[in-house]
Structure 1
Amino acid sequence: MKREDGNIGLESKDESILKREFPRRTFLKGSAAAVVVAGASTAVSGGIMTALTPNTANAATSVDEHTAQTVCQVNGCNGCSLEVLVRDGNVVRTKARNIPREGDLNRICARGASWAHQVVSPKRIKYPMKRAGERGEDKWEQITWDEAIATICAKIKEYQAKYGKNSVACMDDGTMMYNVRWSYTRLKNIAELCHVNKTTDMAYAQSAFLNVSEYFFMGANHYENVLRNLKTFIAWGSNVIEAWPQTWKFIADAIEHNGAKLVVVDPNYNTMASKATLHVRVRPGTDGALAMAMIRYLDEQKQTADSYLQERTVAPFLVKGDGRFMRKSDLQTLADPKMDDYVVWDRKTNAYGFASEVKDPEIRKGTFEVGGHKVMTAYDKLLERVAPFTLKQAAEICDVPEATIKEFAELLATNGPAEVLEGFSVDHYVNGYGSLTAVNSLRMVTGMIGMPIISLYPTADGFSAAEANYPKMSGQIAPFMFKDLLETGKYEMPGKTLEQQLKAWLIFGGNPVAQQPDHNYMVECIKKFDFVAAANVEFCESTKYADILLPVCTSLELSDIAVASSCLMYAEQVITPRFESKPDFEICKLIAQELGLGEWFNFDFDHVLSAIIDTPQLKGQGLTLERLKQEKTIALATPTLKQAATATGRLQFYLETYVPFAYFGQTFDMEKIRLPYWEPPNEAWPVTAGGYEKNPLADKYPLYYYTGPRRFRVHTSMGNVPMLRELEGTEPLVRMNPEDAAKRGIKEGDHVRIFNDRGHVVAKAVFSAGVRPGMVDMDRGWQENQTISGHYNDLTSMTRDWATANNAFYDALCEVEKA
């Protein structure tokens, strides 16, 4: 049998054109040229000149050349439309493609320009394989697809029969492609597998949907027009230039052509902050305290958007002592239960009325009585919650001058329209949900949020509207439960004991071993599973511990559908699948058939694509797969809604009821979670400030540990692309403030050890005065065998707030020493 080496380590030597030094003024031009040259040279045999020769140059040479349209669907980006040049069946070049939206050129970044490298990566998994050594040795033996699928399915049947359906866990969070999510969701349901919720960005998702009803800046809702018309833009915990460079153009246009002011709320002076009118250099993890102080200040200064609060938010709703909104049924018998309106206090009649009828409801009235119930308005509840956060208190907590907080607040109140792009940085602390709801509440108090727009998201739920009765997943768990379930079959959480035998883990895409918090914990856990199967494009840390590997197509080797820039796009299959790789849909179909569930996949791939756009909103615009294939990109009409798609139909800074997105039956403090709140980070609190005592652990580990976004990768994705590796460097870096380095005897260029009680990582130190003193900014996305020692996620922890069960990647302390 053929042996395959799965090594994904650093190359020892690279003599590519990108190693040449370019003059400073021509660096970008040289880099762009190198993208084309390198892509052509790796994709086409015969050398660089042959690849770049026009097909008209030699009449005797037959060259099959064409262009195709696809979409760069990389997790964390906004879905750029690409035009791909294909020559003799190989990807030669990708470039931005025009989209039919106001003549805009859809931009791409270096990641999108690197596809010519990615499809021919030497790190690709080429064939189905089985483990040939000890788990983790990365030694493999090539097998057939039949053997691989038969082995996986035999294990599923064995464990489910002996230990229960939920003994086989499945994670499929590694892609943004709709057809992939649709296929695996269907498979998980019909096979009754146990879903593994990675619990990443749960705080961000919950605050967005429960407070506001949706993501705003994720590309679906004409956000470009909103950005162009802003007078004040707030990048709150988001470095758009690095993470979403496609979006930066619209902000830059607003600054240049509309005189917009840019506010950046970030601990570090970074590329985004360098463009800012105002940089609010907040202490890490204190964003909620800042937002709550601004709400209090603006209310005291009578600079709140009162009519907006009355009409668009839950501000006038009366709240009873049990925390629930007062309704008409609390005061009278209803003939129709559907007409149970919310009760408000009418300022004109000085009596109670109903939200659908009263034009001028009270929002500030204190505690009073209605129908035998003591009540307060929801807005008074908010003011009660923010009352402790004076400007002085916030200045101490956040380490931001009172004058800066005032300037920031007054800018929001007087220089509109304004909007906030909340980044994922705020999400990455244990207190992230409370802080994000505080920021969203500030948006409501200042009247920022425009009328809601219908989000024309395709469906990824795995079933068509006609399929009502089908098997369901056997439950969900999270990686932080793995160790206890594997060792004892039980997991204790507040209010519940989960009993479950965990035997097998199917990892379809993604790299959870590297990307989940507490890397050492994840390695320990994956070794304890009786059986692990992984399907992926490339070898990675997670595939290293598998028993069976399945090779998967890249997104250029299959077709898909995407929504971005308010367009529905058809992503064509650009090239045929390389090696023995298969699309995820075919893998799901093979598994279903082997499990005796083939009737659930008795269709072809076009059925999947048709089901993805089979939604009332898209069908209402006359959209069909046939039309989309013909037109390729269709501009969508996205009308505004009359009310927000929340439980109340209004923007909600107060939640009557709350169920976490990652819900496992745990209990939590409902009273706290109803309103925005702030409390110090769980670990990352090395100071005593604002009456909050420092974490004693800071005596041992005094530095904040931070892993910010990087322009040339998305987490571990694209970490093996030679072109991108050369642009960002060939080893991980840690950015330090020179003051912190000098205290530790560290010189720029030294290899240093960043460590805490959970683990360590070794990286090269580079200095930046822009890094906040007392903080280190470690490169993320480098895998274990790409470092000298350790792993960037060795230092992070599985600690969570049970109301959100969210991965708190930045809530960590560390120390640094010379390696």
Structure 2
Amino acid sequence: MRRMPQPAKREREEFRMSEESFVYTACPGWGDHDYCALKTIVKDGKIERMERIVYSAPEEPDGHICQKGCLAGRQPYDPKRLKKPLKRVGERGEGKWEEISWDQALDEIGEKLCKIRDEYGPDKVVLWNLGAGVPAQYSFENLMPFRFANTFGVTVPLGSIGLDNGPFYAEFYNAGSEFPRTVIDPRIMVGTDLIYVWGCNPIENQMRCAQNLVRAREAGARIVDLGLIFDGTAGFADEFVAMKPASDGYLAMAMVNYILQNDLQASEYLLARSIAAYLVDDETGLLARDGEGNYLVWDAASNAAVPVAPKAGAYPEGADIPLFGSYQIDGKSYTTALQKLKDAAAEYTFELAAEKCGIGAEDAERLARDWVEAENAFILSGYGLRYRNSNETYRQFLLLGALTGRLGKPGSGVFEALQLQSWPLVFNDLPISCPDGVPGVKSVPVRMGEWFAKAEAPDSPYKALIVCSGNPVHQQPDRQRWLDVVDGMELVVDYDVWLTDTGEIADYVLPDLMSFEREDLITGACYNHIILQEPAIEPQVDGHEPVWVFSELAKRVGLGDYFTMSIPEYIDIRLQTQYPLIAGVQPPVTYERLKAEKMIRAAAPPEPKYTPYLNPAEVLDNETGRMEIMYSEKLAELDMATTKVLEPNKIGKSTEYPYQLFTGRQRFFMQSSFTDDPITVKLSGETPATRLNPVQAQRLGLAEDDMVEVFNERGHVVTRLVLDESVPDGTVHVWFGWRRRQFEEGTYAEITHQCAGKDSQGPLEDKWFADWLAAGHHPNPYVESMSSLTGSTDCYWDSWCDIRKFEGEITPNPQGTIVKEA
């Protein structure tokens, strides 16, 4: 048989180069709690296309990809990316730059940091690292800035940030802990009977949740959307219930009242798993205790109080324990916790809910009845409520789940958040973020409201700001506040892929690499899987990933000995965890094994799928060991032991600014990401717009495509007007995400509510933070990340405004220019 001629070596190499290969990548659309790992197909050294990831069984069908993921492979080649380090050559914010080398940038930044440290102290340097939208979150984009901060001694201003707080508040005052109770597997919705999507828009904004909502409805679930805007989820749902802004608590408490007044609560569940039967001292508001520290319940059989030990102690054998009632013990009055709740909820009638929410009383009653009568049901609220009163509203949602026995019940539950994954995975990150251990941490935490009070003062002590992850000048409320804070600083540095609104006011801008160009672990998105992110392509710009950047910067400030390891070495440290779902994998998960296999399934059980409160015998982290959602004695001193509806701060409180400012985001953007892609820009209307109800517009004399100004006492934004019946009368919707330079004039970030600040960090939030610390937690977000979300309220949509036709001459927002290339 004649041998076929073999191709020459070069021809074989060219043939191999033309074949497709793949790696896994954290999607650049990472954020808003839709954390996706994608499959990046590479050919000839370039990204060919993006595909959904295919997990190993039994999670094989649960990878997915949205329009942003499909377009993500274009981003590394975007000509608008930062290409080299930039140094400001004009006035701060003027937009004039020169390109410089990395050595020059790091030498000059390092020299300025040393000068500030030596003259004023290291804590006069502020390091901002909010990585919610940076792929892959919880990895080197977070850990390396933490390591630098904790060895240099910077100030950390991210304590009690006003962002996504409500679910964590509710869980703390129910169970005594927050994470991982806000983590949930959305696949558990499939097979349920009823889903109330309350205040969020997962069909457009959370693809993982949307995927399982579709599956749930295909399996027979009825879906009701309760919300402000008629959005994509409202259009998908079987019913839409339009709610006035910040009114949700009135309906939730009317449902609570209905359950208790009609004796429809899950009594056996509540007795076993909650403090519903525990006695409360009517005089002090504290739970009754005997001399040995046991809690007291009433025994109807013996007509006397009997003890229950802390930490979910057993009830006395043979006792007949009522959930409701008031009793006398030694001349003092005591009432059960559930009776306290019943009495407090009695004022919340369906008629009151109808008045406050703008719905019919009969509809409110029907919603309550359907919630109780459904065999299995969910409330899905997903960080969707952003008002001054929303912490308590999330507590009320959780209460509805507890009263009906749905927390931990298969096919039922409450999604207060959208931390959607499967079994939570915990990595060995502390040795990386805190190389000298927690006692050796040098960074100084400050709660955000207190930090702003100092930073905005004429004698501000802060001299430098380093922004590592996030875009606070754009994404945080009240842009002018940030401009005032940095005005007197000696150094502002931004590290990002793009020239953002934050970068525009910096002195130095350092180009980061995209997830397609760097190695990392993908840990927060993976449905029971640990995934190695490998570079898909060579860097397309003169940028560097965070391990290199902070190692090089550390050398210049005398901390080089802390930054000597490589990325594979750091990954191996992260994998050396005692957490059983990772430690139990055999053979052990190592960098080398991940390099060979790319993806490894954790030792998580296929069933049951993860949901909080899954274990009926669980002893919770609070003192009682049981659910305290119906009565929290810690809040008794503020008259909040039983939940009540609080009022918003701004909405409806001003005659000068009579409308609600709503800044929901575009589904084709992810925060401010994808705002430079011409396809997503076109899909989003090509230019920023303000949406207004046609009835409201007619009353104000405004028409489609008018140039309008939305304004309040803080600033203004000018856009074209779109008339849209999806927006309720009384609400002005300016789309979130667009960069400032894309607006005609101003930006929505000028006029949003200050959070965290004096309006969102009051006595109730201060009590939460104090209780959290008393429970043994650490106040530093760069040690324990939950301290960033504890002790504040998310008020983004609790803002007021007015709107008018813009008749003036546009003063365009400035555009950045490079005046000198390297």
Per the normalisation by structure 1, the TM-score is: 0.82
* DSSP 3-state at the match of 1:195: strand
Where in structure 1 are there 5+ consecutive unaligned residues?
A: 1-54, 333-339, 490-499, 659-667, 686-694
Whether the 8 Å CA contact 2:279–2:335 is kept in 1: the answer is yes
Taking the aligned partners of 1:751 and 1:262, their CA distance within structure 2 comes to 38
Contact 2:423–2:528 (8 Å) recurs in 1:
no
1:653 to 626, 629, 638: 629
Q: What is the rounded CA distance, in whole Å, between the counterparts of 1:433 and 1:66 in structure 2?
A: 47
Aligned to 2:564: 602
Equivalent pair of 2:675/2:681 in contact (CA under 8 Å): yes
Q: SS in structure 1 opposite 2:760?
A: coil
Q: How far apart are the structure 1 equivalents of 2:565 and 2:761?
A: 43
Letter in 2 for 1:652: E
Q: 2:424 aligns with which of 455, 475, 478?
A: 455
Q: List per-residue Cα deviations over 1:648-670 (Å, max 9, x = no partner).
A: 44333157576xxxxxxxxx995
Distance 1:253 1:65, change over 3 A: closer
Partners of 1:283 and 1:551 lie apart in 2 by: 43
**Corresponding position of 2:121:** 164
1:241 is aligned to 2:203: yes
Q: 1:677: Cα distance to partner?
A: 2.5
Alignment of 1:27-38 (within 5 A): none
Task: Return the structure number with greater relative CO, CA threshold 8 A, min gap 6.
Answer: 2
1:535 matched to 2:535 = no
- Per-residue CA deviations over 1:383-411 (Å, capped at 9, x if unaligned) read 23323212222221222211111111111
1:624 match: 589
Give the length in aligned residue pairs. Answer: 722
Whether the 8 Å CA contact 1:347–1:361 is kept in 2: the answer is: yes
Q: Residue type of the partner of 1:353?
A: P
Structure 2 equivalent of residue 412 of structure 1: 371
Q: Distance in 1 between matches of 2:626 and 2:259?
A: 22
For 1:152, the equivalent position in structure 2 comes to: 109
Unaligned runs of 5+ in 2: 1-9, 414-421, 609-613, 766-790, 807-822
Q: Which moved more, 1:159-168 or 1:353-362?
A: 353-362
Paired residue type of 1:437: R
- Which letter maps to 2:125? V
Aligned with 1:582 (options 528, 541, 544):
544
Aligned to 1:352: 306
How far apart, in 2, do the equivalents of 1:371 and 1:603 lie?
A: 67
CA contact (8 A) 1:753 1:818 kept: yes
Match of 1:222 in 2: 185
Q: 1:644 to 1:506 in 2, by over 3 A?
A: farther
Change in Cα spacing, 1:707 to 1:356, as seen in structure 2 (3 Å) is same
C-alpha distance in 1 between matches for 2:619 and 2:193: 24
C-alpha displacement at 1:272, in angstroms?
1.0
Distance 2:37 2:125 in 1: 37
In structure 2, distance between residues paired with 1:168 and 1:509: 16
Q: Could you tell me whether the CA contact under 8 Å between 2:55 and 2:63 is conserved in 1?
A: yes
Amino acid at match of 1:629: K
1:520 corresponds to:
480
* Distance of aligned partners of 1:655 and 1:588 in 2 relative to their CA distance in 1, 3 Å threshold: farther
- Name the CA distance, whole Å, in 2 between partners of 1:750 and 1:414: 49
Partner in structure 2 of residue 21 of structure 1: none
Superposed, 1:626-641 pairs within 5 Å as 626-636=592-602, 637=604, 640-641=614-615
1:439 counterpart = 2:397: yes
Q: Secondary structure at the match of 1:99?
A: coil
Deviation string, structure 1 residues 556-584 (Cα, Å, up to 9, x no partner): 21122223323332222222223221111
Measured on the aligned residues, the alpha-carbon RMSD in Å equals 2.9
Which of 510, 530, 546 is the equivalent residue of 1:550? 510
Q: Which amino acid aligns with 1:793?
A: A
Residue by residue over 1:525-554, the C-alpha shift from the partner in whole angstroms, topping out at 9 and shown as x without a partner, is 222322111111110100011112211111
Match in the other structure for 1:199: 162
SS of the aligned residue for 2:461 comes to coil
Shift of 1:373: 6.3
Structure-1 separation of matches of 2:121 and 2:436: 29
Aligned residue among 316, 335, 351 for 1:376? 335
Fraction of identical pairs, as percent: 26
Taking the aligned partners of 1:400 and 1:116, their CA distance within structure 2 comes to 45
Q: Would the alpha carbon gap of residues 651 and 407 (structure 1) be closer, same or farther in structure 2, given more than 3 Å must change?
A: same
2:798 aligned residue (811, 814, 817): 811
Q: Structure 1's 468 and 777: CA in aligned 2 closer, same or farther, altered over 3 A?
A: closer
Q: CA–CA distance in 2 between the matches of 1:601 and 1:234?
A: 49
Q: CA deviation at 1:344?
A: 3.0
Change (3 A) 1:373 1:113: farther
More deviation, 621-630/260-269: 621-630
Q: Deviations over 1:343-400 (max 9, x none)?
A: 4334454431315211777463444345786543332332233232122222212222
**What's the counterpart of residue 18 of structure 2?**
63
Aligned to 1:265, the other structure's residue is in SS state: strand
> Compared with structure 1, are the counterparts of its residues 361 and 311 closer, same or farther at alpha carbon in structure 2 (3 Å cutoff)?
farther
Equivalent residue for 1:485? 455
Equivalent residue letter for 2:490: D
Q: Is the 8 A contact 1:81 1:99 kept in 2?
A: no
1:394 is matched with which residue? 353
Residues 183/373 of structure 1: CA separation in 2 closer, same or farther (3 Å cut): farther
Q: Given the superposition, is the C-alpha separation of residues 83 and 485 from structure 1 closer, same or farther in structure 2, using an over 3 Å criterion?
A: closer
CA distance in structure 2 between the aligned counterparts of 1:180 and 1:657, rounded to whole angstroms? 40
Provide the residue aligned with 2:718 in structure 1: 762
1:385 aligns with 2:344: yes
Contact preservation (8 Å) 1:458, 1:563: no
Distance 1:467 1:480, change over 3 A: closer
Report the CA distance between 1:199 and its aligned residue. Answer: 2.9
CA 288–56 in structure 1, closer or farther in 2 if over 3 Å, else same: farther
Distance 1:281 1:568, change over 3 A: same
Looking at structure 1, the residues matched to 436 and 491 of structure 2 have their Cα atoms a distance apart, in angstroms, of 36
Check whether the contact 2:554–2:560 (CA below 8 A) recurs between aligned residues. Answer: yes
Give me the whole-angstrom Cα distance separating, in 1, the residues matched to 2:743 and 2:227. Answer: 28
Q: Would the alpha carbon gap of residues 361 and 267 (structure 1) be closer, same or farther in structure 2, given more than 3 Å must change?
A: farther
For residue 727 of structure 2, the aligned residue among 737, 761, 771 is: 771
What is the DSSP-based 3-state SS (H/G/I as helix, E as strand, rest coil) of the residue aligned with 1:606?
Answer: helix
Q: Which residue of 1 aligns with 2:214?
A: 252
Which shows bigger deviation, 158-167 or 758-767?
Answer: 158-167
Are the counterparts in 1 of residues 716 and 747 from structure 2 also a CA contact under 8 Å? yes
Matched residue, 1:127: 84
Q: Where does residue 704 of structure 1 map in the other structure? A: 660
| Structure 1 Cα separation of the partners of residues 52 and 152 of structure 2 | 40
Contact 2:141/2:469 (<8 A) preserved = no
Is the contact made by 1:222 and 1:566 (CA closer than 8 Å) also made in structure 2? no
Give the 3 Å change call, closer, same or farther, for CA 348–733 of structure 1 in structure 2. Answer: farther
Looking at structure 1, the residues matched to 368 and 662 of structure 2 have their Cα atoms a distance apart, in angstroms, of 27
Counterpart CA distance in 2 for 1:155 and 1:59 is 49
How far apart in 2 are the matches of 1:473 and 1:363? 51
In structure 2, what is the equivalent of residue 430 of structure 1?
A: 388
Task: Find the counterpart in structure 2 of residue 663 from structure 1.
Answer: none
Assess, with a 3 A threshold, how the Cα gap between structure 1 residues 670 and 727 changes in structure 2: closer, same or farther.
Answer: farther
CA shift digits 1:665-720 (9 cap, x unpaired): xxx995245442212211102xxxxxxxxx2x1x2222221112321112212211
- Are 1:472 and 2:442 an aligned pair? yes
Q: Deviations over 1:462-514 (max 9, x none)?
A: 4489945432321224267436434344xxxxxxxxxx711111100211001
C-alpha separation between the residues in 2 aligned to 1:122 and 1:260? 46
User: Deviation of residue 788 (structure 1)?
Assistant: 0.4
Question: Offset at 1:818?
Answer: 1.9
Distance 1:168 1:654 in 2: 44
Deviation at 1:162, TM superposition (A): 2.7
1:363–1:380: 8 Å Cα contact kept in structure 2? no
